[in-house]
Amino acid sequence: MINDSLIKIGDKVKIGEKRMPKDFAIIYNPVAAAGKLKEQFNLALKTLDNLNVSYQIFKTEQFQHAITLARDAAKDGFTVVGVGGDGTCNEVLNGVIKSHTNALLGFIPIGTGMDIPGAIGIRPDNIKRACEIIADNKTGKSDIGLAINAKNEQRYFLGIGSQGFDAEVTKRTNESQKSMKGTQNYVLNVLKTVWKFKKRKIRVTQDHGKWEGIANLVAVGNGPTYGGWMYMCPKANVHDGMFHITIINIANLPLLINFNSMYSRNFQPHPKVFEFVSKNVKIEMVNNDDEPYIAQVDGEIIGDLPITYKALRDGYEFIQPQKNEAEQWFQEKYGKKFAKYVNKLRKKGSTYYDDFIYLPEDLRIKYNTNR
């Protein structure tokens, strides 16, 4: 965890400016996904070589080592690139912020999850394209989240901070041997957790009020996905300066049955899912006798409740595509299913997705024509 006071970040680089660094520092976890990603890592290096990108490789040796490596590389004048899964990418994010240098930061997604690069528009299925984005070195500011636990330890994140059932799944996933792909590994641990998990009563305090009740989980979304592209906060985006909060109170088995629909944004709205938008969030247990929920951000456990979250608008400058290519990937993979679901909702009188920033243009035109 990072114990710094709130860090002022992202002031020095003009949006979209192409800045040539001293060099790129590649921060890489050689044991990510049980060390089975060497071929993908070598493909990334070969692609960077072909693109005439100058870099130095820094390999992590232990848990949270990427924080130190990223901090030191940023202080040495490097532009920092996290290469790996969500754990590595989150550590690199926190290390660069801790450097107080405003060093540019990019990601090449390989490994488990890959939701963090997706939050800033990097698609999860194309290593070569991710390398091209690094080589192009175009930048943009994105929102980030800050989580603060009861010990006043701070952790920055790009994706989702959650507590309850999904954090228990994350803990199991992190502790398990990652012998499968990120999504498959996450789903396996969902199955292991669902039969033993006990729901508890929590309190969620936001900018405009409080919610109190029994809940499986609370997800605080800066970005929309976790767990290998599960859209738990389906309308969240990193350009509105707000958290999109999802609170679920569903029996464990029905929740399990519905999990698959979250990958295609076909789950919400739901009568037992409560959603809010807020810049600040505090989540705590109601009953002191209950075992507190654990919390995680970007797949990293940050402690027990209570947890406070703060949304930082335009919080950091990233090397990223100029259009959201992760949303393009979603449309390629689930576009027809998503469009069918949106039209089904409209027939029922629901306008749930009508304000969605990435709603495809054909759905917007079709809806406006029929009104």
DSSP-based helix, strand, coil % in the chain, nearest 5: 35, 25, 40
What are the distances in angstroms from CA 260 to CA 147, 160, 190, 256? 28, 18, 11, 8
**CA quadruple 221, 185, 339, 130: dihedral sign:** positive
What whole-number percentage of the chain has pLDDT above 70? 88
| C-alpha–C-alpha distance, residues 132 and 320, integer Å | 10
Q: Which of 7-16, 168-177, 194-203 has the highest mean pLDDT?
A: 194-203
- Tokens, residue 203: 């309190």
Domain ranges across the chain: 24-143+315-327, 154-313
> What pLDDT was estimated at residue 269?
98
Beta strands in 253-299 (DSSP E): 273-278, 280-285, 294-297
Which whole number is the average pLDDT over 190-199?
80
Fold (topology level) of 154-313: Tumour Suppressor Smad4 (2.60.200)
> What pLDDT was estimated at residue 16?
38
> What pLDDT was estimated at residue 158?
98
Which band of pLDDT confidence, cut at 50, 70 and 90, is reported for residue 177? low
Which whole number is the average pLDDT over 331-352?
97
Query: Which overall architecture, per CATH, does domain 24-143+315-327 show?
Result: 3-Layer(aba) Sandwich (3.40)
pLDDT: which is higher, 205 or 111: 205
The average confidence (pLDDT) of the chain is: 89
Q: Decide if 30 contacts 331 (C-beta within 8 A).
A: no
> What pLDDT was estimated at residue 34?
56
- H and E: helices and strands count for the chain: 10, 16
Under DSSP, the state recorded for 209 is E
Q: Is a pLDDT exceeding 80 seen at residue 367?
A: no
Which band of pLDDT confidence, cut at 50, 70 and 90, is reported for residue 80? very high
| C-alpha–C-alpha distance, residues 100 and 264, integer Å | 38
> What pLDDT was estimated at residue 193?
75
Is 75 exposed, middle or buried, given 0-12, 13-18 or 19+ CB atoms closer than 10 A? middle
Could you read off the pLDDT of 17-63 as tens digits, one per residue?
444 446 999 999 887 655 668 899 999 999 999 999 999 999 999 98
Which whole number is the average pLDDT over 325-343?
97
Which band of pLDDT confidence, cut at 50, 70 and 90, is reported for residue 12? very low
Q: Decide if 71 contacts 80 (C-beta within 8 A).
A: no
| C-alpha–C-alpha distance, residues 198 and 16, integer Å | 47
Q: Decide if 202 contacts 215 (C-beta within 8 A).
A: yes
Which whole number is the average pLDDT over 266-281?
98
- Tokens, residue 97: 């912020």
In this prediction the pTM is 0.89
| C-alpha–C-alpha distance, residues 188 and 173, integer Å | 9
Question: By C-alpha distance, which of 99, 93, 110, 100 is closest to 144?
Answer: 93
Which band of pLDDT confidence, cut at 50, 70 and 90, is reported for residue 280? very high
What are the distances in angstroms from CA 104 to CA 23, 30, 137, 290? 11, 23, 9, 43
For strands 105-109 and 24-28, give the pairing.
Answer: unpaired
> What pLDDT was estimated at residue 7?
36
